[in-house]
Amino acid sequence: MNILMGFSYADSGEASVLGYRPGDLRAKERIGFLPENFAFYRHLDAEALLKFHLGLSGRKVDHPSVLIADLLATVKLESYRGLKVGKYSLGMMQRLGIAQALLGDPELLVLDEPTSGLDPAGRKDVRDLIMALKAEGKTIFLSSHLLSEVEHICDRAIIIDRGRLVRAGDMRELLADGDRVEIIVDRLSEALERAVKLRGASVHREANRIRILGETAQKRALAEMLWTGGSDVLSIAPIKTSLEDIFLKLVGVGDTE
């Protein structure tokens, strides 16, 4: 992200942002950026800070105060507009960060760990705000270690491990890839178990039931095989894979960066 914003330079490879070199001013005019672990001038209040950033954004506005008041209302900070930034909580800072990212009316919002360090309520607030912006038609480029958040917000995802791209794709496809189904039966003969396993499913015998985990694509075939084989199918339920499962499968437990 630092390379894309022009803060650092790449040792190798190529990158472009909105068709321009990283750090190009024409691209930056169309980007709103929320850095990770950022800070604002502690001696300024929210209004002065946003005025400063509005000036730097180059956006011409007839009534800057009205725009700033609207943005502060969007991030629910309107009642703290006169408070010095140094007195803001972490959650308030993140929301103010989002307000400054929105100042230039950007097409693309680049958010680096927007909920890092927030409590659950603060995380929800920021997440709801991002969802609202997405609904408005803004493109959100989000970097996060909270994979449930990525799964919830993003339509496409890429998984990067130690600077290398491990997996990329549409979120639905990524999640569907690992989708499995759980079939519960009351009994299972040994011959039927072998046949089920031949279809790639696994069998887990428990105290008063037997769990069969198979690919979603095999759901119908497995169910018919079990019925005709004499097993009573008690339930069939999909098991949704999470992005976290996929990540751990691709990268490995305790070996991530």
Partner 1 sequence: MKIRIVAHNTFGSFLHNKVLYAMGVLFLVFFLFGLFNVYSFKHMITASNALQMQQHMMHDIANSIVLLYGLGNLLAVWAAADSIASEIKSGTILAIMARPLHRWQFLTGKYLAVLMLMSIYAMTISGITYLLMSLGGQPFYIAGWALVFYPLVRYAIWAAIAMFLGTFLNPIVVMSIVAFLLSVIEFMSTPMAVNRIPAWIQMPLHLALPMSTFVLDESRFFNMTQAALQRYPWTNHLTALTYGMNYALVFFLLAIALFQRRSLTRD
CB under 8 A: which stretch of 51-59, 132-140, 170-178, 245-253 binds partner 1?
51-59
Verify binding: residue 58, partner 1, rule CB under 8 A.
Answer: yes
Beta-bridge partner residues of 20: 17
Q: Say if strands 210-215 and 202-205 run parallel, antiparallel, or are unpaired.
A: antiparallel
Question: Tokens standing for 61?
Answer: 């506005």
Verify binding: residue 78, partner 1, rule CB under 8 A.
Answer: no
E-strand spans in the chain? Answer: 31-34, 108-112, 139-143, 156-161, 164-170, 180-185, 202-205, 210-215, 233-239
Q: Toward partner 1, which CB reaches closer, 109 or 129?
A: 109
Q: Toward partner 1, which CB reaches closer, 138 or 180?
A: 138
Verify binding: residue 211, partner 1, rule CB under 8 A.
Answer: no
Among 18, 20, 29, 236, binds partner 1 (CB under 8 A): 29
Alpha-carbon distance of 7 to 116, in angstroms, equals 20
CB of 220 to partner 1, least distance (A): 52
Q: Toward partner 1, which CB reaches closer, 110 or 157?
A: 110
Residues 6+ apart with CB under 8 A from 233: 183, 184, 185, 223, 226, 227
Judged by the rule CB under 8 A, the positions of this chain that interact with partner 1 are 2, 5-9, 25-26, 28-29, 31, 33, 35, 37-44, 52-53, 55-58, 97, 100, 104, 110
